[in-house]
Amino acid sequence: MVGEIKIEHARKTFVNPDGSSVTALEDVNLTVRPGSFVTFIGPSGCGKTTLLRAIAGLDPADSGAIFLDGEKITQPGVERGYAFQQANLFPWLNIRDNIAFGLKARKEYKEKKDDVAKFIEMTGLQGFENSYPHQVSGGMRQRAALARALVGHPKVLLLDEPLGALDAFTRMNMQDMILSLWKEYNMTMIMVTHDVDEAIYLSDEVVVMSARPAKVEQIIPIDLFRPRRRGQDTFLDYRRKILKILDFAGDIQDVDYYL
């Protein structure tokens, strides 16, 4: 089993245009077990996304280090797939070409052509292969973005609130889809979310983070059988527990940008 993420003393400070600086991550230490599903939850603007981007290699940490299976992460790589908050599909490519983008970029398209069709099917996008992104719904765009990130068979899939902009029903369907993709491909999943229910429903472990600068407040293993039911008592117990910690952590602040 591969896909272990180890974060050691990660620090990250952003300098604002006016010269002031904001510490987004302060000494984050965390190990994500291979093949597990972990969510980061915490107040808005606390630095969850910063941490995820650091794992992706998009904005490396200032000090400290992040390792994938013992290897230090310095730049983006195919073995770490990333699903962005906005689907960010390339509007000039149809759904199929969007999904095939990574394969083509790495010149693997010829050998792995069938993967594209497989992921189109797994994400329920048959019949929309030739549509352009603006012609399909928001949920389909996110599914296509997931398929695009998965087609390279990453060891770790990083999910930055990809369901945040979807309506409740689409969201729940997508959660099930994400779980089935996870089961099928055995990769490590790390997801950032605001939604406590989503975190409990999906994860093996919920990492509750404190308000900025982000630190790991508490790690809560979710000991429930799958498929989980959102209404069951034990589910609600976890919910109360996490909400209580979040309250302690400073709860939701009015921050209108993400770190």
Partner 1 sequence: MKQTLKKALPFLGLGFAAVTDRAIPNSTQQPEADGPYFFYFLLILAAAYLLAFLCSFFFQGLEEKLAHKAPFLAGAALLVAAINLAISKFALLPVLFFPCLDRVFGVFAADRALLLRCILASGKLLIIGFLIGGGLGFLTGVLIGFSKKASYWISPIMKFVGPIPPTSWSPLVLSLFTTAYAASVFMVALAVWFPVTLMTSSGIQNVGNSYFEVASTLGAGKFHKICHVAIPAAMPSIFLGIFYATCSAFVTLVTAELLGADAGLGWYLNWEKSMMMYANVYAGLILIAVICTLAITLVFKLKDHVLVWQRGVIKW
Residues 194-233 that bind partner 1 (CB under 8 A): none
Taking CB under 8 A as the criterion, the residue among 30, 46, 51, 56 binding partner 1 is 56
Q: How many amino acids of this chain bind partner 1 (CB under 8 A)?
A: 28
Neighbours of 47 (CB within 10 A): 30
Kindly indicate which of the ranges 13-21, 129-137, 201-209, 237-245 contains the residues binding partner 1, using the contact rule CB under 8 A. Answer: 129-137
Q: Residue 67 is inside which H or E element, if any?
A: strand 63-68
Q: Is 3 in the site for partner 1 (CB under 8 A)?
A: no
Say which DSSP state 81 is in: E
User: What is the C-alpha separation between 75 and 57, in angstroms, rounded?
Assistant: 4
Q: Is 124 in the site for partner 1 (CB under 8 A)?
A: no
Taking CB under 8 A as the criterion, the residue among 25, 47, 64, 80 binding partner 1 is 80
Q: Shortest Cβ distance from residue 115 to partner 1 (Å)?
A: 13
Taking CB under 8 A as the criterion, the residue among 88, 170, 173, 218 binding partner 1 is 88
User: What is the C-alpha separation between 115 and 112, in angstroms, rounded?
Assistant: 5
CB 254 within 8 A of CB 46: no
Q: Which two tokens stand for residue 31?
A: 């190990």
Cβ proximity to partner 1: between 48 and 148 the closer is: 148
Taking CB under 8 A as the criterion, the residue among 22, 58, 65, 177 binding partner 1 is 58
Say which DSSP state 2 is in: -
Cβ proximity to partner 1: between 58 and 216 the closer is: 58
User: What is the C-alpha separation between 51 and 259, in angstroms, rounded?
Assistant: 9
Kindly indicate which of the ranges 9-17, 103-111, 173-181, 239-247 contains the residues binding partner 1, using the contact rule CB under 8 A. Answer: 103-111
Quickly tell me which residue has 């970029």 as its tokens. 105
- Beta-bridged to residue 39, according to DSSP, are 191, 206
User: What is the C-alpha separation between 189 and 81, in angstroms, rounded?
Assistant: 10
Binding site for partner 1 (CB under 8 A): 56, 58, 75-78, 80-82, 84, 86, 88, 90-94, 101-102, 104-106, 132, 134-135, 148-149, 152
